[in-house]
Amino acid sequence: MKHDTRLKHAMKFLPTGMGVALLLCAATGLSWAADANDTPTLSLDEVRVEAKRPATISPKVLSRDQVMQPGMSDNLLDNLTQIPGIQLRRTAVSGNENGKLRMRGFDESRLRILKNGVPIQRDGSYGNGPVDWSTLNPNSIETVQVYKGAVPAKYGNTLGGVVDITTRSPEEGLETEIRGLYGSENTHEEALTHMGRNQYGSWFLSGGHYETDGFLRNNDTDRNHGEIDLSVNLPLGLTVGGGVCWSKYETGMPVYNRPDSPYYDGGEPDSDERELGGPGISVRLKDKQKAWGDDSFAEDENTRITAWIQKEFQKGHLRLNYLTWSQDKEETYVAADDPSKVIYKRETDAEPDNWSLQAEGEVALGDHTLEAGGETRSQGWGDQTVTAIDTSYFNGSINHSDLAFVKNGFKGQPDIMTYHALYLQDTWQLSDVWTLEAGLRQEWYKADAIDADAFGFEKNVATTDLSESNLDPRAALSFRPWKGGELSTRVGIVHRYPTSPEYFWWFVNRNESAFPNTSLTPEESRQVELALSQKFAEVLDVELRGYHYAIDDYITSTSIPYKGSMHYNIEEVTIQGAELSLRAPLPFNLSAWGNLTWQEGDKKGDPSDPENRLEGQVPDFPETMVNVGLDYRLDDRVSARLTLNHVDKREHIDAKTQEVIKLEAYTVVGASASALVFKNSFSAWRLMASVDNIFDEDYEEETGYPMPDTTYTVGVSATF
């Protein structure tokens, strides 16, 4: 059935895809004309898929050494905190943690997360979040590049920036790597990677197992993952490829563990409950029950399938990418007073073969680099089936007609939301010291009316839909007036459209008198950024960035008792700040680095905060963040890093109590090291170790969920 669904999606996409391809053929036709007098050549080498980066913007880069440093986390998030402007809001450091990365105050739904240049954000339905970071296996990653601010038109409708993850590129021959880790909370990981390349193409295979007891009560994780990527070299400069990324894991749902619970365990950290799925049921359980008990868990299976084809020309290229993804989830809730009794169980087809397609072309003509492309995607949510329910553990709210989904589940509605875009961009090298970039991006967004039987509510909901189109300009100017120095400015307009969960909850609750949310408008952000960078020979690198965002109709949400989630627009949100980065080489193979982020977020016209309890401030927004580090590197034999991460205090309004909650500032120190202990013509063996939160800081990234005390991880890897 799912294969038939994918075929239908592909046929549905065909007219749009042909239009995009025709546009790109016109652009690359310039390349053919420019190359008409050149002698054609035939190349059988694989083309590395990396878009040329405009000279007017430069990324922060995490190397493979940094990505592969061991830790309790099974994903990239810990490493990203070393970049200025990055903030995490996790309830746990491992397992099913979604939607927890923030860049300059913007969450993942306002960022662009790419893998080899292809967007991998999902729909985020049923509380799953835009990105499941545990599906991004560090063993397969070469580098991570982070772009912030008003990025070029080709990157799309991102407010905060871009995280572009590049996978490993096999070299000629064969390479096999094994890796094993063990650490605190009985955390262990085993991984195997094999890759190679010959004249016909390349292949990459990776698989592994990750397991941890977790830090919070009932928050263990058991995960298996695998990835296959293949490419084939064809005549006429063509390369085709595809891959599958798969993960399946079981994660315990944190149990409410505070002294007012009759099932309180003083030997475990005090924390709130955490549902690893949705819609939420915790407020539907009887008050004395205090949510669910130990051995409640969620199972997730995620699959991403990619296919691509690329044509290389002497002065450019043409590329087409296809991506489809699916997610199946099963949640099991057991009674706190009797863990053998299942009180609620449901199965969810959270991402029903959603898909996207991107096309892009690039050609160099004299001092100009022209880029053109397009994107189309279709998203929606699948069905949710309740397979078991013990109504004696629930309060009377589940008998209300508006909450019929608690007992009956959802029918779902795939293909409810479509997005299309075309862009054209020119990077013009005006002179040796001036570079100008100009781009336009045209976008079309459509969210259909929701069928009455798609969401399980029995109330009448008036038919409506949401349709929007916008033309967004971007521009940048870079000036290099002296050796090692660069001044640049970037400006742009970006529109951000409602996600499927935002649109869904607005649609079904928009006429509720409990909250004024009768309309939902896409966000419009006007962005300005100034940057100065200077390299002082081999002594010091300095970068200073200042930025300002003015966002109209900012989309946010709040929770209304017995009504669910209410999504609405804040009239105006302003975010501004500055980032200072320094790096200096030191004697004895040492180097020091640090960065400081100052930021301010203000809001005006927030219907959920008419008393201005947050004094106009954007919630969960630290004013300052600091990272400091000391690195040691001796060739490829020994490397070590000592880091300090400081996050200022934050405030927000609690969704349950509507009170202002204050989170204290925290400072966390960590260290990691790697050493080559044996190497010959056949293999190389490396030892690794890390310690996080060395000084045992008590802190929370998200209110209600303490982070671990001091933890350690040790490991070994071998390459053959």
DSSP state string for 164-190: EEEE--PPSEEEEEEEEEEETTTEEEE
Compute φ and ψ for 673, nearest 5 degrees. -155, 155
Distance between CA atoms of residues 219 and 716, nearest Å: 26
Distance of alpha carbon 119 from the chain centroid: 9
Distance between CA atoms of residues 303 and 350, nearest Å: 12
Helix (H, G, I), strand (E, B) or coil at 67: helix
Beta strands 111-115 and 466-479 are unpaired
Helix (H, G, I), strand (E, B) or coil at 462: coil
Helix (H, G, I), strand (E, B) or coil at 440: strand
pTM to 2 decimals? 0.88
Distance between CA atoms of residues 397 and 672, nearest Å: 51
Distance of alpha carbon 50 from the chain centroid: 19
- Report which of 158, 164, 99 is spatially closest to residue 134, judged by C-alpha positions: 99
Burial (CB < 10 A; 0-12, 13-18, 19+), residue 229, is buried
Compute φ and ψ for 212, nearest 5 degrees. -155, 150
Q: What is the CATH number of the domain that holds 182?
A: 2.40.170.20
Q: Which helix (H) or strand (E) holds 34?
A: helix 2-34
Q: What domain range is 689 assigned to?
A: 2-719
Burial (CB < 10 A; 0-12, 13-18, 19+), residue 592, is middle
Instruction: Dig out the tokens for 262 from the structure.
Output: 């009759």
Q: Rg of the chain's alpha carbons, rounded to an integer?
A: 26
Contacts 24+ apart (CB under 8 A), 476-483: 476/54, 476/56, 476/57, 476/150, 476/152, 476/436, 476/437, 477/56, 477/434, 477/435, 477/436, 477/437, 478/55, 478/56, 478/434, 478/435, 478/436, 478/437, 479/433, 479/434, 480/432, 480/433, 480/434, 481/433
Instruction: Dig out the tokens for 555 from the structure.
Output: 């989309």
> What is the DSSP code (8-state) at residue 177?
E
Name beta bridge partners: 45: none
- Report which of 92, 75, 59 is spatially closest to residue 140, judged by C-alpha positions: 75
Compute φ and ψ for 263, nearest 5 degrees. -115, 30
User: What pLDDT shows up at residue 458?
Assistant: 59
Name beta bridge partners: 414: none
Phi/psi-derived region of residue 127, left when phi > 0, alpha when psi is between -120 and 50, beta in every other case: left
Sequence-ordered alpha helix ranges (H) in 331-484 = 405-408
Sequence-ordered alpha helix ranges (H) in 478-526 = 500-509
Give the side-chain half-sphere CA count within 13 A for 118: 28
User: What pLDDT shows up at residue 83?
Assistant: 93
Distance between CA atoms of residues 8 and 355, nearest Å: 11
User: What pLDDT shows up at residue 28?
Assistant: 35
- Positions of the chain with pLDDT lower than 70, given as ranges: 1-56, 95-99, 456-463, 512-517, 561-564
Q: Which helix (H) or strand (E) holds 348?
A: strand 342-365
- Which residues, 6 or more positions from 159, have their beta carbon under 8 angstroms from its beta carbon? 106, 110, 111, 494, 496, 523, 525, 527, 549, 551
Helix (H, G, I), strand (E, B) or coil at 593: strand
Distance between CA atoms of residues 392 and 603, nearest Å: 43
Distance between CA atoms of residues 412 and 391, nearest Å: 23
Distance between CA atoms of residues 389 and 333, nearest Å: 9
- For residues 165 and 688, the answer to whether their CB atoms sit within 8 Å is no
- For residues 338 and 371, the answer to whether their CB atoms sit within 8 Å is no
Beta strands 161-167 and 111-115 are parallel
Compute φ and ψ for 261, nearest 5 degrees. -85, 135
- For residues 191 and 223, the answer to whether their CB atoms sit within 8 Å is no
- For residues 219 and 254, the answer to whether their CB atoms sit within 8 Å is yes
First to last CA, the chain: 42
Number of domains, the chain:
1
Q: Which helix (H) or strand (E) holds 184?
A: none
Place of tokens 């239908």: 8
